[in-house]
Structure 1
Amino acid sequence: MTNVLVTGASTGIGRSIALMLAEHGMTVYAGVRKTEDGDELTEAAVGILKPVRLDVTSGADIERTLKTIADDGGLGALVNNAGVYIGGPLELMRDEDIDATFQVNVLGLLRLTRACLPMLRQSRGRIVNISSISGLVALPGVSVYAGSKHAVEAITDSLRVELSPFGVTVIAVEPGSIQTEIWRKGAERDDARQSESKEVRDLYTPLVSLLEKLNENPRGIPPERVAEVVRKALMDDNPDNRYIVGTDAKSLSFLRWLPDSLRDGAIRRKVWKS
């Protein structure tokens, strides 16, 4: 039975991943920030699910969590799911918004992955990084988030080759819009900025309005669909290097192959109506 660590398991995609993997026979260490979230997960789980208090930006949390897993027989897989979404034009972003995004989405992922590598080399295990379609196609209004997810893509590509001699498989999962709390939380942060920069915000009205519509009504896929893809990535004998999840994500992915001028023009007309 494989021991797997899932970060950001309190809500959304991470919660669905943790529950699905436990149901399919894995021993899941579910990283949560609050004790009550862990209690709720344990109650909902079918199978073996062990909540662990884990803030991926905390070295002490990482050390304590991995000691627990090592004492229980080691680690067979890591799912780097913990993430922060803060949208908005760069000119309206605060330093703390930028710092939080990269601390969790990039630096936390790197530090936790580094700490897990001795056990993953021993088990010839797998790493699944939950990226985003924003890691392949950067749309306006999400430069900070997209930058962090482009970093995740680069990390995944580099580690896939770097760790291959040790039998460690590294996979990216790239969802589009998801029906999760991350969008609501992002909208709340956007609202907090409104009174601070109204004059500048007005300059970006078309873009901000589009982001607000997406936040209020994300026409996304259920997180369980992403969880099923992660299950396949961990359990299939020959998993793909990357999985693009969702119709919108697959449509947007084709923008990568357009010349810059055509891609930029199409997006500009959609956002700025010009």
Structure 2
Amino acid sequence: MFKVNVVGTLRTARVFLPLLKNAKGRLLTIGLTGECYNGTGVVAYAAARHAVAGASNALSNELAHLGVNVVTINTGTITADALYHQVRVRVEEQIEPNVQPTDPYLRYKVNALPRYALRIIEQILLSDIPKLSYDLVPPVGLSIYFTAISEKFNSNKQPAPLNTV
């Protein structure tokens, strides 16, 4: 578990560091998943996920001076199975005369992640200054709107100077 989750994450960071440094990019890691909160019989997995979250935090501190952001995504109640859901389409044995072989793929609806999780991932990818970690949790009432409004008006961007004649 540690070799795949922790060492694999750190080796990936090392391999892509030159590209991330040149582009001032960001490295996304998966920290805690649903199994870490309520799973049973997953002690080694939960320990490895916590180690990834800790290593990502330390890596973020070490790479900050290079302009590289390291962001940890904690999936909340979303399990690793749902996160890495493989698309499978069952194709019927007998194809009807008017049905194209690609129709089952066109009718298939991918439903791997909830909409709120996709919005948070979009925020991670597009924010100018990302946080160290994000939790994929559903929004609670109006608090998400207040957070969005406060972030919009409290940005660190300087207004453009006015042209005076």
**Residues 142 and 179 from structure 1, CA distance in 2 versus in 1: closer, same or farther, beyond 3 angstroms?**
closer
Q: Distance in 1 between matches of 2:136 and 2:50?
A: 16
Tell me: CA distance 1:135–1:123, structure 2 relative to 1, closer, same or farther (3 Å): farther
Q: Deviations over 1:137-175 (max 9, x none)?
A: 686532111111111111111011100101101111101
2:28 matched residue in structure 1: 128
Gaps of 5+ in 2: 86-111, 139-165
| 1:118 maps onto 2:18 in alignment | yes
Identity of aligned residues (%): 31
Tell me, what secondary structure is at the counterpart of 1:127? strand
Quote the offset at 1:105 in angstroms: 1.7
Task: Write out the 4+ residue segments of structure 1 that deviate beyond 4 Å after TM superposition.
Answer: 133-140
CA distance in 1 between partners of 2:123 and 2:59 (Å): 20
> Contact 1:171/1:240 (CA < 8 Å) preserved in 2?
yes
Q: Which has the higher contact order (CA 8 A, sep 6+)?
A: 2
After superposition, what is the alpha-carbon deviation per residue over 1:177-219, rounded to whole angstroms, capped at 9, x for unaligned? Answer: 2277359x9xxxxxxxxxxxxxxxxxxxxxxxxxxxxxxxxxx
- Match of 1:158? 58
Picking from 231, 242, 245, the partner of 2:136 is 245
Residue 227 of structure 1, CA deviation: 3.3
Give me the whole-angstrom Cα distance separating, in 1, the residues matched to 2:25 and 2:57: 16
TM-score (normalizing by structure 1)? 0.35
TM-score, scaled to structure 2 = 0.56
Larger of the two Rg values belongs to structure:
2
CA distance in 1 between counterparts of 2:74 and 2:54 reads: 13
Pick the structure with more helix per residue.
Answer: 1
State the SS of the aligned residue for 2:41.
Answer: coil
Task: Give the secondary structure class of the aligned counterpart of 1:163.
Answer: helix
Give the direction of change, closer, same or farther, for the CA distance of 1:174–1:167 in structure 2 (3 Å limit): same
Cα distance, 1:226 vs structure 2: 2.8
The structure in which a higher percent of residues are strand is 1
Match of 1:145 among 45, 68, 72: 45
